[in-house]
């Protein structure tokens, strides 16, 4: 068994062990250890990783259901590796942040670790059957996190989250069936192997079939991202989810949608019946998400809802960068996923801390809390600055690359997206100014600063955001190798 299987299996076993513990102490320690193990594994993989080849590394394959062409195949490349690292970083930090959780701690931490196993599986599966299983497996822990530890409208939000994303997954499943059978009919051998199916896709004769497959798969992924107009489940889920749930949802689960875009959609795009139309659709969705998400964020009165809409806006850059199909815009989009994962974590943790300490997240009811909570203020300000794209931090690198290089192929969309930057800066600064600075709102009562556990996890995130802002090259290097390969398909297809 190689390293990739281990980073899936260890959290899976850890989750079961955590669920079986009796005390809070045992639960959180076991959960932390079993979520740190994948981090060690991911760091080891990064060291061994060859950034110069776009092919799969650490591949492992076993027979599973050979009569249907189903194999247990896992491996990583430059698209998956950074996201594996992201999930390995974010989950232990979430556990540290939630160190004081008192309500059913064994289930709480167990579900978080189970989620990590599912996400690792999604990012490393090279077999559509396996991929779909992990894709669905991530739903269940999240559903429970929202509906047990959530806010007042948790039932509604949990069911909406579940049904919305489940329906999207089912549509994606239809697409998977279609590509599977179409390729089976074409070649005579059944296979769910993702790279194989993506390669064979171009040989399918009917362009209608190719378009239908593309759109079905695309729907599954963009609902997950989520892109406007399929975003309505996200704000509800975020507002009602506990902080740890929001963090994992925004930092890791949304990235599964973006991952699908790079892993599956872009390699198929040049070979669909009408690639230019598909690029227009993707670019349009991207810009719409950037602008509409930012506008909605500006209008929010709830700090957490604002951050939720800012996620939609930032994920729009991923779609736009991918649609531009310039090597550096595509790798910028991949880097945006990684960077946004870290930054949004910091933002949701700040919101969670404010809710926890001040008892409200309504911006108008806050005000001047900075004077009482200096540590939180510094870290939160850092997060907000990163989120609005301050140079030197990771968000800037990603968005700069996307906008600069996407201009080469999609200039109109980029000019529109630039408007979004102004709005983005606006809602971040305005919210900070109203909630944190100014004179203290006397009605808030006794405020204290964040706990050491919260500080630790947020400080680590802030340092990582700074580190990857100053030194993005190692991660970007892996991404660019794969981005170039994806873009070269366009030339092969003659688009």
Partner 1 sequence: MTNYMLLAPELILTLVALTTMMVGLFIGKNKTILGYFASIGLVAALSLTVSSLNANETLFYGTLTIDALSQFFKIVFISVSLLVTIASIKYTENDQNADSFFTLLLFSTIGMMVVASANDLVTLFVGFELASLSTYALAGFDKKDPKSIEAAMKYFIIGSLSSALMLFGISFVYGMTGTTSIPGIAENAGALVGSPVGLIAVVMLIAGFGFKMALVPFHMWAPDTYQGAPTVVSALLAAGSKKMGFVAAFRVFVVALAVLSPTWQTAFAILAVITMTLGNVVAISQTSVKRMLAYSSVAQAGYIAMAFAVMTPMAFAGGILYTLSHAFMKTGAFLVVAVVGYMVLSDNKNAKDIDHIDNFKGLSKRMPFTAFAMMVFVFALSGIPPTAGYISKFVLFSSTIEAGLVWLAVIAILNSAISLYYYARVVKYMYFLPAIGGKVSEPAPYAIALILALAGVLVIGIWPEPFVYWAMEAAKVLI
Among 40, 56, 178, 362, binds partner 1 (CB under 8 A): 178
- Shortest Cβ 344–partner 1 spacing (Å): 27
- Reference 60, options 9, 113, 98; nearest CA is 9
Angle between helices 3-20 and 24-48 (to 10 degrees): 180
Instruction: Figure out which of the listed residues 43, 68, 203, 418 binds partner 1, where binding follows CB under 8 A.
Output: 68
Q: What is the CA radius of gyration of the chain?
A: 22
Rounded to the nearest whole angstrom, what is the least distance from the CB of residue 108 to partner 1 in the complex? 13
Asked whether position 155 contacts partner 1 by CB under 8 A, the answer is yes
Single out the residue of 97, 108, 109, 180 in contact with partner 1 (rule: CB under 8 A): 180
Query: Are the CB atoms for 462 and 382 separated by under 8 Å?
Result: yes
Least CB distance to partner 1 at residue 224 (A): 16
Rule CB under 8 A: choose which of 173, 419, 440, 447 binds partner 1: 173
Taking each helix axis from N to C end, the angle separating 207-224 and 154-187, rounded to the nearest 10 degrees, works out to 150
H helices present in 61-138, as ranges: 80-97, 105-124, 128-137
Report the alpha-carbon distance of residue 381 to residue 336 in Å, rounded: 20
Work out how close the CB of 244 gets to partner 1 at its nearest, in angstroms, rounded to a whole number: 17
- CA–CA distance from 231 to each of 255, 282, 288 (Å)? 14, 15, 11
Tokens of 423: 């709005």
* Residue 174 CB, nearest approach to partner 1 (Å): 6
φ, ψ at 58 (rounded to 5°): 55, 35
Please count the helices (runs of H) and the strands (runs of E) in the chain.
21, 2
Of 75 and 220, nearer to partner 1 (C-beta) is 220
Number of CB atoms found within 10 A of residue 442's CB: 8
Residue closest to 112 by CA, chosen among 253, 321, 240 = 253
Question: 52: which 2 tokens?
Answer: 């110069």
Q: What is the nearest approach in angstroms of partner 1 to the Cβ of residue 311?
A: 25
Is residue 20 near partner 1 by the rule CB under 8 A?
no
90 or 111: CB nearest partner 1? 111
170 binds partner 1 (CB under 8 A): yes
**Would you say 177 or 467 has its CB closer to partner 1?**
177
- 443: its two tokens: 């009605």
Out of 16, 29, 33, 148, which residue is the one contacting partner 1 (CB under 8 A)? 148
**Residue (of 223, 220, 195, 197) closest to 210 by Cα position:** 197
144 binds partner 1 (CB under 8 A): yes
Segment lying near partner 1 (by CB under 8 A), choices 38-46, 156-164, 199-207, 336-344: 156-164
Q: Is 163 in the site for partner 1 (CB under 8 A)?
A: yes
Residues 336-395 contacting partner 1, CB under 8 A: none
- Report, in Å, the least distance between residue 148 CB and partner 1: 6
- Report the nearest approach of partner 1 to the CB of residue 103 (Å): 12
Q: Which of 106, 121, 86, 89 is nearest to 12 (CA)?
A: 121
Q: Which is nearer to partner 1, 72 or 453 (CB)?
A: 72
- For 58, 80, 81, 451, the CA distances from 44, given in Å and listed in that order, are 11, 15, 11, 31
Residues 111-140 that bind partner 1 (CB under 8 A): 129, 132-133, 136-137, 139-140
What is the nearest approach in angstroms of partner 1 to the Cβ of residue 495?
A: 27
The span from the first CA to the last CA of the chain, in angstroms, equals 42
| DSSP 3-state of 413 | helix
Asked if 29 interacts with partner 1 (CB under 8 A), we say no
- Best CA proximity match to 261, nearest among 220, 231, 314: 220
Region binding partner 1 by CB under 8 A among candidate stretches 80-88, 165-173, 302-310, 325-333: 165-173
- Pick the piece of the chain touching partner 1 (CB under 8 A) from 174-182, 198-206, 272-280, 463-471: 174-182
Single residue of 167, 203, 408, 418 touching partner 1 by CB under 8 A: 167
- Of 311, 340, 324, the C-alpha closest to 282 is 324
166 touching partner 1, by CB under 8 A: yes
Instruction: Show the tokens assigned to 131.
Output: 């991929």
Interaction of residue 65 with partner 1, rule CB under 8 A: yes
Q: Given the complex with partner 1, which of 112 and 279 has the nearer CB atom?
A: 112
By CB under 8 A, tell whether 64 contacts partner 1: yes
Angle at the Cα of 33 (from 28 to 34), degrees rounded to 5?
A: 100
59: phi then psi, degrees, rounded to nearest 5: -75, 140
Give least dist CB 125 to partner 1, A.
12
Q: Are 95 and 28 in contact (CB under 8 A)?
A: yes
- Tell the smallest beta-carbon distance from residue 68 to partner 1 (Å): 6
The stretch near partner 1 (CB under 8 A) out of 32-40, 171-179, 309-317, 414-422 is: 171-179
**Structure token pair of residue 198:** 């993506």
* Residue 181 in the binding site for partner 1 (CB under 8 A): yes
**Binding residues for partner 1 (CB under 8 A):** 63-68, 129, 132-133, 136-137, 139-140, 143-144, 147-148, 155, 159, 162-163, 166-167, 170-171, 173-174, 177-178, 180-181, 184-185
């Amino acid at each position: 068994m190689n390293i990739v299987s281990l980073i899936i299996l260890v959290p899976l076993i850890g989750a079961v062990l955590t669920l079986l513990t009796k005390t809070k102490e045992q639960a959180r320690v076991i959960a932390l250890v079993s979520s740190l193990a994948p981090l060690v594994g991911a760091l080891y993989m990064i060291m061994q990783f060859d950034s110069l080849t776009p092919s799969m590394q650490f591949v492992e394959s076993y027979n599973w259901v050979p009569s249907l062409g189903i194999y247990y195949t896992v491996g990583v490349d430059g698209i998956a590796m950074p996201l594996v690292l992201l999930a390995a970083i974010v989950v232990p930090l979430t556990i540290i942040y939630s160190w004081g959780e008192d309500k059913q701690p064994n289930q709480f931490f167990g579900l978080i670790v189970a989620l990590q196993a599912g996400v690792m599986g999604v990012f490393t599966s090279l077999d559509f059957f396996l991929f779909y299983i992990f894709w669905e497996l991530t739903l269940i822990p999240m559903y429970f996190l929202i509906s047990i530890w959530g806010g007042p409208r948790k039932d509604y939000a949990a069911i909406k989250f579940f049904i919305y994303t489940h329906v999207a997954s089912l549509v994606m499943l239809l697409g998977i069936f279609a590509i599977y059978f179409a390729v089976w009919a074409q070649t005579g051998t059944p296979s769910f192997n993702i790279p194989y199916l993506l390669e064979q896709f171009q040989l399918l004769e009917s362009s209608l079939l190719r378009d239908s497959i593309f759109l079905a798969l695309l729907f599954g992924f963009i609902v997950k991202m989520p892109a406007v107009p399929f975003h309505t489940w996200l704000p509800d889920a975020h507002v009602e989810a506990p902080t740890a749930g929001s963090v994992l949802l925004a930092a890791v689960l949304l990235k599964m949608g973006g991952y699908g875009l790079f892993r599956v959609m872009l390699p198929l795009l040049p070979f669909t019946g009408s690639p230019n139309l598909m690029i227009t659709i993707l670019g349009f969705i991207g810009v719409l998400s950037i602008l509409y998400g930012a506008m909605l964020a500006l209008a929010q009165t709830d700090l957490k809802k604002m951050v939720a809409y800012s996620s939609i806006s930032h994920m729009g850059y991923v779609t736009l960068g991918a649609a531009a199909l310039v090597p550096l815009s595509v790798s910028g989009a991949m880097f945006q996923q990684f960077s946004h994962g870290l930054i949004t974590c910091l933002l949701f943790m700040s919101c969670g801390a404010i809710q926890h300490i001040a008892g409200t997240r309504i911006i108008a009811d806050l005000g001047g809390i900075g004077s009482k909570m200096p540590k939180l203020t510094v870290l939160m300000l850092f997060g907000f600055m990163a989120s609005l794209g301050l140079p030197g931090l990771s968000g800037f690198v990603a968005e700069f690359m996307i906008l600069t290089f996407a201009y080469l192929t999609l200039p109109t969309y980029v000019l529109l997206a630039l408007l979004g930057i102004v709005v983005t800066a606006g809602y971040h600064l305005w919210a900070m100014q109203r909630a944190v600075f100014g004179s203290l709102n006397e009605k808030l009562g006794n405020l204290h600063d964040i706990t050491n556990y919260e500080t630790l996890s947020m400080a680590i995130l802030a340092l990582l955001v700074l580190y990857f802002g100053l030194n993005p090259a190692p991660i970007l290097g892996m991404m660019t190798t794969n981005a170039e390969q994806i873009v070269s398909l366009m030339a092969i297809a003659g688009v």
